[in-house]
Amino acid sequence: DRVYTLQDSEHAYRVMVETMSEGAATLLQDGTIIYCNQRLAEMLATPLERMLGASFCDFFGNEERERFLLLLEKGVTSEARAEMTLSANGQVSLPALLSMRTLPMDGMSTAACLIVTGLAEQRRSREELEAKVAERTAELRRKNRDLEDFATVISHDLQEPLRKVQGFGNLLVQNAMGHLSETEIDFIQRMQEATTRMEQMINGLLTLSRVSTRARPHQQVDLNQVIGDVLSMLESSLETSNGTVEVDDLPVIEAEPLQMQQLFQNLISNAIKFHQPETPPQVKVSSHTEPGSGQTPSKIQIRVEDNGIGFEEEHIDSLFIPFRRLVNRKEFEGTGMGLAICKKIVERHGGSIAVKSQPGVGSTFTVTLPVKQ
């Protein structure tokens, strides 16, 4: 029974080797082929009977032959693999992965088992994929240029009539003030306010569109410096509101400096602006590092906490939509574009932004960004 089982196992092994899609061979220490399956003979366009007894070294050019001999020297004693180019009769050029390991053989010199995996199809697929990626990248760049041109034209064409309305409104106020009723003066002021608000909305849309179309290369950015610059720009708002901003030590990350400044200026200015009546705004900026693992890079979480008016968390989904506002425009100025810009900046950097809030208590915005891009 035991002999039969061994014979049956050997037969199954031979059938498997003869029908496999890879080439297979058994080589002696000097490269002589003592076994070769039909698939390897087909890959090398050489009759099977000519393969047996031949040297496998003959299927390489001069440079590759030297590399193969080094591979064989290692393969007959342990295990080795390498990508090489096989050739036959000066006509066949076959890029392939050669995998080799020692093969114990009773009563014979040291031998190695060789598996040859053709890479031509893989390389062709890779080249096709690279060509498609290059084509789509070029198409994306064209679309970005078109979007930039469109945004600039729309910005100019929309703002030009607004400036005229504002200009004529100013002339009316200057030249006809004594001849207008209070109601008429109120109408003109509302018109002026509306045109100013429209101009701000157009500028917000332009900024949003340029987060991607005018993106600059990433570089090392010290977030401490970024927050310092932001606080300098918000100094007047802090003095007016009697607000304070506490900042922990922040890390250095790979990012676009200007966009990091836009991001945190929007978050901190919102935290200052949306404060409770008679309560000075208190803002805290802190960070926490999440270690990476394997192919996952380390991430940094930056939290911007405030003691402001807060909001119901059921409105979170609409919070980052352009022009969407949760408060009355008469109470708090703004266009509703700031958080939409923040979200786009964060996503462009491969990160995310989340928020927790409670009415009358305050809000905490958490920005998660990779330390390295």
Q: Which residues lie closer than 8 Å to 217 by C-beta, 6 or more apart?
A: 256
The CB-side HSE value for 235 (13 A sphere, CA atoms) comes to: 4
- On whether the CB atoms of residues 243 and 207 are closer than 8 A, the answer is no
As a whole number, mean pLDDT of residues 59-68 equals 88
- Indicate if the pLDDT at residue 31 is higher than 60: yes
Average pLDDT, the chain: 83
Pairwise CA distance, residues 250 & 47, whole Å: 69
Pairwise CA distance, residues 76 & 29, whole Å: 6
Give 120-214's CATH code, choosing from 1.10.30, 3.30.370, 1.10.287, 1.10.357. 1.10.287
- Indicate if the pLDDT at residue 294 is higher than 60: yes
- Indicate if the pLDDT at residue 332 is higher than 70: no
- Indicate if the pLDDT at residue 92 is higher than 70: no
Closest-CA residue to 304 (of 247, 228, 256): 247
As a whole number, mean pLDDT of residues 28-33 equals 90
Q: Given this chain, do its domains 120-214 and 218-373 carry the same CATH topology?
A: no
As a whole number, mean pLDDT of residues 278-307 equals 87
pTM: 0.53
**Residue with the larger pLDDT of the pair 250 and 163:** 250
Closest-CA residue to 38 (of 55, 62, 54, 19): 19
Quick one: 2-118 is in which CATH superfamily? PAS domain (3.30.450.20)
Q: Is 126 helix (H, G, I), strand (E, B) or coil?
A: helix
Q: Predicted confidence band at 21 (pLDDT cuts at 50, 70, 90)?
A: confident
- DSSP string covering 193-252, please? HHHHHHHHHHHHHHHHHHHHHT----EEEEHHHHHHHHHHHTHHHHHHHT-EEEE----E
The DSSP bridge pattern shows strands 282-290 and 79-88 to be unpaired
- Indicate if the pLDDT at residue 155 is higher than 80: no
Q: Predicted confidence band at 109 (pLDDT cuts at 50, 70, 90)?
A: low
- pLDDT, residue 214, reads 63
Q: Predicted confidence band at 6 (pLDDT cuts at 50, 70, 90)?
A: very low
218-373, CATH topology level: Heat Shock Protein 90 (3.30.565)
- pLDDT, residue 334, reads 59
Pairwise CA distance, residues 28 & 60, whole Å: 17
Q: Predicted confidence band at 108 (pLDDT cuts at 50, 70, 90)?
A: low
| Best-predicted range by mean pLDDT (9-18, 63-72, 158-167, 241-250) | 241-250
Domain boundaries, the chain: 2-118, 120-214, 218-373
